[in-house]
Structure 1
Amino acid sequence: MKKNYRLLLAEDEPSLGLILKESIESRGFQVDHCEDGEKAWLSYQQKDYDLLILDVMMPKLDGFSLAKKVRNSDSYIPIIFLTAKSTTEDVIEGFEKGGNDYVKKPFSMEELIVRVKALLERKSNPIHQEWTPVGKYNFHPGKQLLKFEQEELYLTSKESEVLKELILHQNELTDRSLILEKLWGSADFFNARSMDVYISKLRKKLEKDPDLQILNIRGYGYKLVCG
């Protein structure tokens, strides 16, 4: 991992915010702490951050609303939500608002640091024009090619683009609308149906590895699970 990652921490409890800031900085990160969502949004607009840690229940602008605003300008910056809200519905809402991870209070600092490092590591190793392992397959986005042992499977341009997006967020929920906006330019009904067709084709081409699945999370999007 590169050094000098800059993180934005939005936490409205001053004492907890100070503890988190000092603890994260002791691991070598730079941290800007804001005590409400509006200040965090202004800071996000003024500086270049590598990851956001957002408390959900904040004054002026809550964490979910802040994440939604961020996602309108950046689809890929990692976002971790901190919250005491722990129902399944709350977690789903967090992912729907663009979160990459969801840490329930109370939590250990080591747990948070592990999650931060995992997301930053994933962000710093995007897929380039080279062979990338996907379960028991190998994928080359430039050549639009999948390999399974000695067998080669050629992908269409759109199949390759969709698979690349899923791999970039493998084992995470991937917002359906974000993929549609990026690859099709619009999240309308007809483009959504088109993407469903490509997902079905990719599932068929990846079926030789039973531990590799593309899950459809109804109402949200997709999740590429690599066993």
Structure 2
Amino acid sequence: MRLLFVEDDAKIVTFVVNGLKQAGFAVDHAQDGRQGLDMLLTAGYDAAIVDIMLPRMDGISMVAQARAQQVKTPIIFLSARQNVSDRIRGLEAGADDYLVKPFAFAELVARLQALLRRVSGVIEPVSLKYRGFEMDVIKHRLLFNDERVELQPREFALLEYLMRHPDRIISKTMIMDHVWDYSFDPTTNVVEACVSRLRKKLFDQTGQKVIKTVKGIGYVLETPI
């Protein structure tokens, strides 16, 4: 899932962006409302998190303009303002949810997941199974025959994406779009390196090459375990 985070407070940016990446999201950051609007209009995001008090353009104006231009991206407002009237203004501007600062990071992730399920109309499973592997998406835990398999955040996000699309060839571009943010340099071999590390960890458990490379196209989960 690719998210846009629009916030000008450096401490909050570091905290939230790092946390979201560890939770398996790809995150792009904008530091003011105008930049956030430009990014929202030109890139496809699964969801956006927008602070209300922003330089150059406030969050409410940003979201209102995005909605006026038919942007359908689900949006959560962040604000230190706790008045009911402020929350109503945010929702009337086009936001889908509103979270008051300070907030628990776990609540932000839970609200994001609930919003994505609600907007898509599809309830994606939080427990994924693939031929001996069982993944708990919420707890970020992978088991193979009830034994814990330790994965780094990017490896977990990559495997989750593949497990949600078994027997489907997933291209490098698709992986970059869902697992890495736009600061990622597509000319590097970071995708191949991540696939290699993940493949080895899965091989150590199964003794088989679980992730198959389709030369010139991408990767697929198809080898029986």
TM-score (norm 2): 0.52
Report the Cα distance in structure 2 between the residues aligned to 1:119 and 1:74, rounded to whole angstroms.
19
Q: Which residue of 2 is the match for residue 64 of structure 1?
A: 60
Q: Which residue of 2 is the match for residue 7 of structure 1?
A: 3
Q: Which residue of 1 is the match for residue 31 of structure 2?
A: 35
Deviation at 1:125, TM superposition (A): 2.1
Q: Which residue of 2 is the match for residue 96 of structure 1?
A: 92
1:116 and 2:108 are equivalent in the alignment = no
1:77 and 2:69 are equivalent in the alignment = no
Deviation at 1:33, TM superposition (A): 0.8
Q: Could you give the per-residue CA deviations for residues 103-145 of structure 1, whole angstroms, max 9, x where no partner exists?
A: 000000001000000011112226xxxxxxxxxxxxxxxxxxx
Gaps of 5+ in 1: 127-227
Q: Which residue of 2 is the match for residue 16 of structure 1?
A: 12
Report the Cα distance in structure 1 between the residues aligned to 2:98 and 2:75, rounded to whole angstroms.
9
The correspondence of residues 125-144 of structure 1 with structure 2, limited to 5 A, is 125=121
Structure 2 residue identity aligned to 1:7: L
Q: Tell me if structure 1 keeps the 8 A contact 2:41–2:71.
A: no
Q: Could you give the per-residue CA deviations for residues 1-23 of structure 1, whole angstroms, max 9, x where no partner exists?
A: xxxx1111000101211211110
Deviation at 1:76, TM superposition (A): 3.4
TM-score (norm 1): 0.52
Number of aligned pairs? 123
Q: Which residue of 2 is the match for residue 26 of structure 1?
A: 22
Gaps of 5+ in 2: 123-225
Report the Cα distance in structure 2 between the residues aligned to 1:25 and 1:9, rounded to whole angstroms.
12
Report the Cα distance in structure 1 between the residues aligned to 2:56 and 2:67, rounded to whole angstroms.
18
CA RMSD in angstroms, aligned pairs only = 1.6
Q: Tell me if structure 1 keeps the 8 A contact 2:48–2:75.
A: yes
Q: Which residue of 2 is the match for residue 199 of structure 1?
A: none
User: Cα–Cα, structure 1 residues 45 and 76, in superposed 2: closer, same or farther, change >3 Å?
Assistant: closer
Q: Tell me if structure 1 keeps the 8 A contact 2:37–2:63.
A: no
Q: Which residue of 1 is the match for residue 45 of structure 2?
A: 49
Higher relative contact order (CA 8 A, sep 6+): 2
Q: 3-state DSSP class of the match of 1:31?
A: strand
Identity %: 38
Structure 2 residue identity aligned to 1:68: A
Q: 3-state DSSP class of the match of 2:66?
A: helix
